[in-house]
Structures are given as structure tokens and as C-alpha cells.
Structure 1
Amino acid sequence: MTSTPQSPRAHALAALLCCALPFGASAAEGALKVELNKLEAHENACVTYLVFGNQTSTDFTSLQLELVLFDDQGFILQRLALEAAPIAAGKTSVKLFEVPKTGCEQLGRILINDVGACADTAGTRTDCLQRIEPTSRITTQLFK
């Protein structure tokens, strides 16, 4: 049996189709955008305003984010776990989280380090961290 040689273009297209999306995902499923929109000083704490833009068809019943907070010199201030769900499919919502014993002026960057728990109405999901697209409207950076 002989094989038909394929052009480099065909190989490139096959590689692109194979690897452009995480296994089991489709482009139609969309992203989960997380925007750091505002920091607000409260007595002995900083309140973060996160805007979640759920561009998926998934109603998240659990979304536990592990955040690592850095100062403006790059030193770790603290680690924080927060539950962001419920987040409805196709909906934008704002969630407020208090960062205790931290002044807003201390925050330089916030890392979405991991997703501790992620579930929808069908059960546990494994693609949540890959779906998150972090952005920031302020000088404090939100990244993963």
C-alpha cells in the first residue's frame, strides 16, 4: 500500500485544526472573560470589583478561583480563594471581593493561579482555567 504525499500546506492545516482548541472544546463554546474593573478602599481592606462576561453556553454553579496577590515590587502579599459562581450563561455580572488587611495601593498584580473547583449543571468541568480571559481596566494587572 502506498501513501499519497501531502503538501506542507495540508500538514499545516491539519496541525492547526488539531491543536487550535483544547481537546473537547469548540469555538462556539466561547470564553469566560474576567475583568478587574475597580479597587475600592474600605476600612482595613481593599474591595475588588470583577466583571465576569460569560460568553459560553454554560451556567457555572461553581467557579472557585485561586488568586495570588503581588505588590508593585513583585513580592507575594497573600493567596486568596474565592467563589465567583453562580455565573449564568451568556450573562455579564459583577462580583465584589474583599481582600482583608490589604490597602488597595499595595496591589500591583493579581494572578489567577488556578481554578480550585469548577462545575455546571451537568457536573465537574476541567476546562475552566483555559476558558478564562483576564483583563484589567486599571493599573493593577489581572493575569493568568
Structure 2
Amino acid sequence: MAVLSRLFALALLAASPATAQTDPVHLELNALHPRDGACQMVFVAQNDSGADLERLVLEAVLFDPDGRVAALTLLDMQDLPAGRMRVRSFEIAGLACDQVSRLLINGVSACEPEGPGCAQPLALESRVPVEVLQ
């Protein structure tokens, strides 16, 4: 009987909202467009964390095909409402799109308000031949 009550207690803990995992913020590198002396990077963001984000700024590192750091930048994703998709575009001056082989999300520079959307790792994808990782 004690074993059954322990199993029941564990099942209740696993189902409680306090321990439930929230879904992450999804970030997809959707397109690269060459611009005059720059590379325009287009991202699609989907906030599935269940909480509105008023601001999300990511530290990004771009690597060239030889694995060298080509650029360091901040990606200000602005506001990301819960359950909504947003498209954000950034121009990286002095960098040709064909010279970007990897994009590392090095960290979070700002995330407001603190909560589920800031606590989870990002879910990353790429629709272009650039590896996206964190």
C-alpha cells in the first residue's frame, strides 16, 4: 500500500503546473538576402512559452566557411507575444551572405519580463544552408 501511495504522489507531482515544462521560443533562420555590402538575415520567431515577452535580445556570432568568427552582433527580436509568430530582419554590414556558414546564439543579452519565456533554451532551426546552434 505504501508503494501505491508513493506512486500516486509522484504522479501528482509530475502533473502539477509548477513542474510542467513550458514550450520554448522557436527561432528559425528563414532567409538570407545579399544587400549592398551587407547580408540581410530574416528570422521567424514563435513564442510558445505561454508568456508574452516584451523584449528579447540575443548575442549572435557568425562564422565564415573556414570556422573563423566573421561578426559579433546583437539580434533585438523586440516583443514576442505568446502564441504569435513574428518576422524580424537584420542587416549585417560588411558581410556577404555566402560567407556565413554557422550562426551561434551565444547567449541572451536581455529578456523581459523574467519568466518562462526567458528560462527555456531556444528551439533553433534553419531553412538556409547555415547551421544555427546555441
- Shorter-chain TM-score bucket reads 0.7 to 0.9
User: Aligned with 1:102: secondary structure?
Assistant: coil
1:128 aligns with 2:118: yes
Normalising by structure 2, what TM-score? Answer: 0.81
Identity of aligned residues (%): 30
Q: How many residue pairs were aligned?
A: 123
Q: Which amino acid aligns with 1:94?
A: V
User: Aligned with 1:33: secondary structure?
Assistant: strand
Distance 1:112 1:141 in 2: 11
Contact 2:47 2:117 survives alignment (8 Å): no
- Greater CA drift, 39-48 or 50-59: 50-59
Residue 70 of structure 1: CA displacement?
0.2
Contact 1:30 1:131 survives alignment (8 Å): no
Normalising by structure 1, what TM-score? Answer: 0.76
Question: Which stretches in structure 1 are left out of the alignment for 5+ residues?
Answer: 19-23
Residue 130 of structure 1: CA displacement?
3.2
RMSD of Structure 2 on Structure 1 (CA):
2.2
CA-to-partner distance for each residue in 1:42-88, whole Å, 9 max, x for gaps? 00110001010111211111101000000111110111012102111
CA-to-partner distance for each residue in 1:8-57, whole Å, 9 max, x for gaps? xx8xxx7xx89xxxxx7632x21110000100000011000101011121
User: Aligned with 1:131: secondary structure?
Assistant: coil
